[in-house]
Amino acid sequence: MTRNVAPSYDTVCSALSLACRAPSVHNCQPWRWLLAERSVQLFLDLSRLPEALDPSTRAQVISCGAALHHVRIAFASLGWRALIHRLPNPSQPGHLASIQFSPRDHVAPATVALAGVAAQRRTERRAYLPDLVPPELLTTLRAAAETEHGALVRAAEHRAAVVDAVKRASQYRESVEYQHALADFDDPEPAVPELDDKAVLAVLATRSDQVDSWLAAGEALSAVLLNAAREGLVTCPLNHLSEVWEAREQVRTTVLDGAGYPQLVLRVGWPGPGEPPPITPRRVLADSLELLPPRS
Ligand SMILES: Cc1cc2nc3c(=O)[nH]c(=O)nc-3n(C[C@H](O)[C@H](O)[C@H](O)COP(=O)(O)O)c2cc1C
């Protein structure tokens, strides 16, 4: 008996809907999915964010990386292994991934749990409780990042330097230039983030600073956020460093001791009292999905 080598259309749509729950900078959701007969192609959609807010495209590629990790988790939870060819077309840097499939005999309960968490996770921007995040949980998050070729480095003794760098970089977000670029954009991100609580501050870093590293940073970000949420922790990525060169350098030379490149700062901790923040809306899947006609 031959086995199906591609998931059904309904399965693909279900997986892609979950992938679209991935976090993205300014919630811009800069992904486009192209559906072929036996594969899904992921493209960067640069029409989703004003250029001035992310001129290098770094944060948008990181967001697509998060969606790519979400898609892997979603397909895995539905019984399919996603076989990914990253940046398959060197002449087209916006073509971020080509995804093919093979059936899985076994779905690990941990994968199903992560998929469940992906549907519910949300960014928490308010103050976190001062309670200790146990070292073993931080080890789990670090391992999740490493599996995806990222590094999660706790700020620890360099916390003040990170706070200072992010606060200084916030001034750029408050500038007329930045606010002008944000006009008519429904932005959920405050210019100045909460930094005075006892959240763990960690830097998500990569070894190099090119498109492939940004994609990996996004996959690592998703792995960290989903594993944190599974443990009941709340998180908030901060992109401020990437927007101001000096601030990024300050963190690179202190927290990373000059080795590697900071991609994001992450706040991690326990949620404060009260209801969790509302789930942030996403555009409908059809808006980011294109079907390729079957080959004759
Ligand atoms: C690359 C990247 C950068 C982000 N930067 C910030 C940030 O600087 N400040 C912030 O509050 N949220 C930031 N976020 C979180 C997004 O705003 C959030 O994921 C989006 O609004 C969707 O909301 P949700 O995570 O609650 O689903 C970032 C997310 C990503 C993927």
Residue by residue, pLDDT tens for the chain (296 residues) are 335 578 999 999 999 999 999 999 999 999 999 999 899 999 999 999 999 999 999 999 999 999 999 999 999 999 999 999 999 999 999 999 999 999 999 999 999 999 999 999 999 999 999 999 999 999 999 999 999 999 999 999 999 999 999 999 999 999 999 999 988 788 899 999 999 999 999 999 999 999 999 999 999 999 999 999 999 999 999 999 989 999 999 999 999 999 999 999 999 999 999 999 999 999 999 999 999 876 65
Cα gap 71→194, rounded to integer Å? 30
Q: Which ligand 1 atom sits closest to the C-alpha of 66?
A: 31
The reply to whether 9-121+284-291 and 135-269 are identical in fold is: yes
Q: Is the CB of 23 under 6 A from ligand 1?
A: yes
Q: Alpha carbon of 79 to those of 3, 83, 114, 250: distances in Å? A: 13, 13, 14, 44
**Which residue bears the tokens 């991609």?**
263
Single pTM value for the model: 0.97
Q: Indicate the domain borders of the chain.
A: 9-121+284-291, 135-269
CB 279 within 8 A of CB 122: yes
Q: Is the CB of 282 under 6 A from ligand 1?
A: no
Q: Is the CB of 56 under 6 A from ligand 1?
A: no
Q: Which CATH superfamily is domain 9-121+284-291 in?
A: NADH Oxidase (3.40.109.10)
Q: Which CATH superfamily is domain 135-269 in?
A: NADH Oxidase (3.40.109.10)
